[in-house]
A and B are shown apart, each in its own frame.
Chain A
Amino acid sequence: MSKTRQAGAGMRYTLGQFASHAFLLALAFIFMFPFYVMLVTSFRAPQELFTPEFNWLPQVFTGAHYYIESLTATPVLTFMKNGVIISLGILLVQLLTAIPCAYALAKFEFRGRKLLFAIVIFALTVPIQVPALPLFLGLNAIGALDTYFAAMMPFFLSVFAIFLFRQSFKSYPDEIIHAARLDGMSEWAILWTIVVPGSVPAIAAFSVFSLTSHWNDLYWPMIVIRSNELMTPPLGLAYFADSESGENYGALMATATILTAPLMLAFLFAQRQFIRGITMTGVK
């Protein structure tokens, strides 16, 4: 009696597993469909795009034609270079400014500490679109519009980094810091050679978060960048998708593939860090 019941439960169990897999696979197909369309279209000849029937695979072999066209006819590589310079530049300054500040907030008592932390918490909720106008006017006033500096400046301070690193530094044992101090180490040396190496996971997760958000950002570059030579990947793509008559889908999709590839590949190689870094805004 009890045996049959168990068998029944086991069966229901595997049936449930099977149903879950079937459902998830169907959804996975839908979720992957845009990526498939991007890739397959980057290999299709124009005459195929304007025929009324849908083929799952290209009918004519175009090889790397559209990729070569994309790389030679549009400044894709320049966009990527700009994306790298701007997002790495932002990250570098963010780390250099946020780490010492977080250390002070985590480990020292000083006048104004509570106020500073309250402002950090408030600033966490303010998105870039709020200070955008005055920052634009300020950059214009000093004649710095349409430069790398303009593209990076609003993000030099990350209150999110301060908040996160403070959490991480707090858990670093005071005894070790104190021992180093007794050995005559300066606070800067303690911070960079002892405390920071202990927080590498938090710093790595933040770096992923920062690099992806600024590589992908359209809003701010759209405001301050005008010249083609300074455009970031999203801005360049938006610009060229528009100016190139909408007919050349092969090259457009090849460009989209090239510009999406770096982050996607990085994600595939370091999934855990990526998921942690990007959702860090959501989970602790």
Chain B
Amino acid sequence: MPADIAAFPGPAPVAVSPRRRHGAQIPGWVSWSLAGPSVVLLVLLMLLPIAAIVLLSFTDYRFGALEVSFVGLDNYVDLNSDRAFWRALGNTFTYVAMVVPASVFLGLLLAVLINGLTRGRKIYQLIFFLPVTATLVAMATVWKYLLHGTIGPFNLLLKSWGLPAIDFFSDPDLVLGGLALINIWSLAGFNMVLFIAGLTAIPEELYDAASVDGMENPLDRFFSVTLPLLGPTTMFVIITSTITAFKVFDTVAVITRGGPRRGASDVLLYTTYLEGFTYFRMGSAAAMTVVFLAIIMIFAFLQARVLDRKVHY
């Protein structure tokens, strides 16, 4: 399910009335009584756990163990020499590198084509958005069967057309591609909606101006008007898709469990999950989580920069 990602702020409120806030005379305790429950939860569910995860990553804590000791940076040093961890990280980035370009391009293509239609826009939007709302775990079981090497309908179709079968989920070289396919399918419609929103914001006059300048070919107009003006939207969609793809978990947990063979589809969140909640090695799982958080923070920082530019734009 795509993304509980940072929100996209609307245009800054323009009509700032003179800073006469009618609430200004309200005593502080009223404000704090309103915000209080959230503040308590914010501390308990977010700030303390983040502090705890950083602390844990410097210990050798194992779930259920009676003794804990500080081991400094040992967990990070171990991660650095852990081939399985690097493989999981590498797989995650390979996966992102497949999902992001395809889902962004497909989203843009769908948006442009649908936006140019004189009729039928709604029904196409509905169809392409449907995978976004579908419960991913349920659809993962469907995809597992659909792409099954021998009895899957996909391969039966290939065979009936005289083509060789492709066994995505038991071939270590294809498994990430198979998982990526599912994510592209479930993300393209989401990106399409964002692009359509971006397209409708482009003023019609710009296209009129382009026609006056003798630009008749729709492709010319696309590259000289549409694409440059969609720049900020595109950047935003790329980063959101990257974060979504980076958090891949459900399909791996349901379809491949990191397999086939040793770790062909191990990804960062799945490996961390196993380390922490199956092997109960909390210290090293915490270190992996810190690495995960650091990468997410980098993406979030980029996202914030893009948003800043878009607001000024």
Contact = CB atoms under 8 A, between A and B. Distances in A.
B42 A157 contact: yes
Contacts of B188: 31
Nearest to B15: A171
Chain A interface bracket (under 10, 10 to 19, 20 to 34, 35 or more): 35 or more
A284 B8 contact: yes
A24 B218 contact: no
A110 interface: yes
A116 B47 CA distance: 12
Interface stretch (B80-88, B89-97, B247-255): B247-255
Contacts of A63: none
A197 interface: no
A234 B142 contact: no
A278 to B, nearest CB: 6
Interface in B260-285: 269, 272-273, 276-277, 282, 285
Given A134-B52, A134-B53, A24 B45 contact: no
Contact of A264 (B39, B49, B130, B137): B130
B245 interface: no
B124 to A, nearest CB: 5
Contact of B113 (A24, A136, A275): A24
Interface stretch (B71-79, B172-180, B220-228, B290-298): B290-298
Contact of B133 (A109, A137, A175, A274): A274
Interface string B22-37: 1110101011101101
Given A126-B50, A260-B139, A223 B277 contact: yes
Nearest to B32: A110
Contacts of A132: 276, 289
Given A101-B37, A107-B21, A271 B46 contact: no
Given A181-B22, A284-B10, A162 B38 contact: yes
B144 to A, nearest CB: 8
A160 B160 contact: no
A275 B128 CA distance: 11
Contacts of A149: none
B125 to A, nearest CB: 7
B4 A127 contact: yes
A14 to B, nearest CB: 9
Contact of A256 (B22, B122, B141, B286): B141
A157 B161 CA distance: 53
Contact of B117 (A21, A34, A233, A259): A21
A108 B31 contact: yes
Given A234-B137, A237-B137, A253-B145, A17 B118 contact: yes
Nearest to B190: A279
B134 interface: yes
B7 A280 contact: yes
Contacts of A259: 135, 138
A131 B297 contact: no
A218 B133 contact: no
Most central of B3, B141, B160, B236 by chain A CB within 10 Å: B141
Nearest to B116: A20
Contact of A37 (B23, B41, B145): B145
Contact of B42 (A136, A153, A159, A264): A159
B206 interface: no
B65 to A, nearest CB: 12
A123 B46 CA distance: 7
Most central of A100, A120, A134, A177 by chain B CB within 10 Å: A134
Given A101-B35, A167-B9, A24 B124 contact: yes
Given A125-B303, A174-B20, 15 more contacts: A35-B142, A101-B34, A124-B7, A157-B46, A159-B42, A167-B10, A174-B21, A219-B249, A238-B254, A241-B141, A253-B141, A274-B129, A281-B3, A283-B197, A284-B7
23 contacts: A17-B116, A23-B113, A33-B146, A37-B145, A53-B160, A98-B38, A100-B38, A111-B28, A123-B42, A123-B46, A124-B7, A133-B49, A134-B49, A171-B13, A181-B22, A212-B133, A249-B145, A257-B138, A264-B134, A271-B122, A278-B133, A279-B194, A284-B10
